[in-house]
Amino acid sequence: MQQGRSRLRMLILSGMFAAITAVLAQIEIPLPLVPISGQTLAVGLTATILGSRFGMVAMLCYIALGAVGLPVFAEAKSGVHVLLGPTGGYIFGFIIAAYITGYILERTKFNLTMALVANIVGMVITLAIGATQLKFVLGLSWPEAMAGGVYPFIVVGLIKAFLASWIGIKVRNRLIQANLLENKIQKAAV
Amino acid sequence: MNFLSRIPIGQFIPGDSFVHRLDPRSKLLFTLLFVVLIFFADEPRTYIFLICFTLLSLFASRISLSYLFRSLKPIIWLILLTVLVHIFMTKGGSLVWEWKWFSVYEEGLRQAILISVRLIVLIIMASLLTLTTSPLDLTDGIERLLQPLARFNFPAHDLAMMMSISLRFIPTLLEEMDKIMKAQMSRGAYFDSGGLVKRTQALVPLLIPLFVSAFRRAEELALAMEARGYRGAIGRTKLRELAWSRTDGVFLVLVILMVVLFFLIRQW
Q: What is the pLDDT of residues B64-96, one digit of tens each?
A: 888 888 778 878 888 888 888 888 777 776 776
**Residues A64, A70, A76, A80, Cα dihedral to 10°:** 50
Regarding whether B46 and B109 lie in a shared domain, the answer is yes
pLDDT given for residue A19 in this prediction: 92
Query: A33 pLDDT exceeds 70?
Result: no
Q: Do B1 and B129 fall within a single domain?
A: yes
* pLDDT at residue A101, rounded to an integer: 92
Same domain assignment for residues B205 and B176: yes
Q: Is the residue at B157 inside a domain?
A: yes
pLDDT at A26 over 50: yes
According to the model, what pLDDT value does residue A128 have?
92
Q: For the whole model, what pTM was predicted?
A: 0.83
Mean pLDDT of the B134-154 span: 82
Mean pLDDT of chain B: 81
Residue A43 contacts residue A22 (beta carbons within 8 Å): no
Chain B CB contacts of A64 below 8 Å: 139, 142, 159, 163
Range 69-88 of B in CB contact (< 8 A) with A: 71, 74-75, 78, 81-82, 85-86
User: Which residues of chain B lie closer than 8 angstroms to A62, CB-CB?
Assistant: 166
B13 at interface of A, judged by CB pairs closer than 8 A: no
Mean pLDDT of A124-152: 87
Tell me, yes or no, if B150 comes closer than 8 A to chain A by beta carbon: no
pLDDT at B126 over 80: yes
- B10 and B129 belong to one structural domain: yes
Q: Which residue has the higher pLDDT, B56 or A175?
A: B56
Same domain assignment for residues B117 and B224: no
Tell me which residue in A64, A87, A167 faces B163 most closely, judged by beta carbons. Answer: A64
Co-location of B37 and B127 in the same domain? yes
A104/A114 Cα distance (integer angstroms): 8
At A32 the pLDDT is: 47
User: Can you give the pLDDT at residue A95?
Assistant: 92
One-letter amino acid at A161 equals: A
Judgement on whether residues B127 and B48 belong to the same structural domain of the protein: yes
Q: What phi, psi does B85 have (nearest 5°)?
A: -60, -45
- Interface check for A75 against chain B (CB to CB < 8 A): the answer is yes
Q: Backbone phi, then psi, for B217, in 5-degree steps? A: -60, -40
| Residue of higher predicted confidence among B154 and B115 | B115
Q: Which of A127, A110, A123 is nearest to A162 (CA)?
A: A123
Q: Is the confidence at residue B52, as pLDDT, over 60?
A: yes
Q: Are residues B242 and B227 in the same domain?
A: no
Indicate whether B21 and B76 sit together in one domain: yes
- Mean of the pLDDT values across residues A40-48? 87
| CA A76 to each of CA A24, A66, B11: distance values in angstroms, whole numbers, following the listed order | 11, 9, 12
- Among the residue ranges B15-19, B120-124, B164-168, B240-244, the one predicted with the least confidence is B240-244
For residue A23, give the nearest of B127, B129, B173 by CB distance: B173
* Model pLDDT, residue B7: 43
Q: How far apart are CA B98 and CA A160, in angstroms?
A: 44
Region for A182 from its dihedrals, namely left if φ exceeds 0, alpha if ψ lies in -120 to 50, beta otherwise: beta
DSSP letter for each residue of B151-208:
GGT--GGGHHHHHHHHHHHHHHHHHHHHHHHHHHHHTT--SSSS-HHHHHHHHHHHHH
Asked if A6 and A188 count as a contact pair (C-beta separation under 8 A), the reply is: yes
Instruction: Kindly state the percentage of chain B with pLDDT values over 90.
Output: 0
Mean pLDDT of chain A: 82
Residue B147 within any structural domain of the chain: no
CA distance B216 to B150: 28
Question: What Å distances lie between residue B130 and A120, A137, B134, B223, CA to CA?
Answer: 34, 20, 7, 35
CA distance A108 to chain B (A): 24
B228 touches A at CB < 8 Å: no
Structural domain includes residue B141: no
Say yes or no: A49 contacts chain B, CB-CB below 8 A: yes
pLDDT tens digits for range B189-239: 777 666 666 666 777 788 888 888 888 888 889 889 888 888 776 767 777
The answer, yes or no, to whether residue B262 has pLDDT greater than 80, is yes
The whole-angstrom separation of Cα A169 and Cα B221 is 25
Q: pLDDT at position B193, please?
A: 67
Total domains in the fold of chain B: 2
Q: What is the pLDDT of residue A36?
A: 52
Do B160 and B262 share a domain, yes or no?
A: no
Report chain A residues whose CB lies below 8 A from the CB of B82. 138-140
- Chain A residues with beta carbon closer than 8 angstroms to that of B115: 138-139
Q: Quote the pLDDT of residue B6.
A: 41
User: Residue type for B191, please?
Assistant: F
Q: Which 8-state DSSP code applies to residue B235?
A: T
Mean pLDDT along residues A88-102: 91
What is the helix (H) or strand (E) element at residue B247, kind and residue range?
A: helix B246-267
CA dist., res. A102 & res. A45, Å (int): 10
pLDDT at B61 over 70: yes
What is the extent of the structural domain holding B34?
1-133+237-268
pLDDT of residue A31: 47
Q: Which amino acid is at B202?
A: A
Q: Which residue has the higher pLDDT, B193 or B105?
A: B105
For residue B160, being part of any structural domain is answered with: yes
CATH number of A2-185: 1.10.1760.20
Q: Tell which of B40, B191, B211, B213 to mutate to test the A interface (max A CBs under 10 Å).
A: B211
Mean pLDDT, residues B49-66 taken together: 87
Which residues in chain A (124-183) have CB-CB distances under 8 A to chain B?
Answer: 136-141, 144, 159, 163, 166-167, 170-171, 174-175, 178, 180-181
pLDDT of A3: 56
What number is the average pLDDT over the span B83-112? Answer: 76
Residue A56: band (very low, low, confident or very high) from pLDDT cuts 50, 70, 90: very high
DSSP code string of B97-158: EEETTEEEEHHHHHHHHHHHHHHHHHHHHHHHHHHHS-HHHHHHHHHHHHGGGGGGT--GGG
Is B6 a member of any domain?
yes
Mark whether B31 and B105 lie in a shared domain: yes
Tell me the nearest-neighbour CA distance from B37 into chain A, angstroms.
13
Q: Between these two residues, B101 and B36, which has the higher pLDDT value?
A: B36
**β-pair type (B95-99, B102-105):** antiparallel
Residue A7 has pLDDT above 70, yes or no: yes
What pLDDT score was predicted for residue A60?
A: 92
A19-28, A63-72, A175-184, B205-214: the lowest-pLDDT one: A175-184
B79 vs A20, B36, B40, CA distance in Å?
32, 20, 20
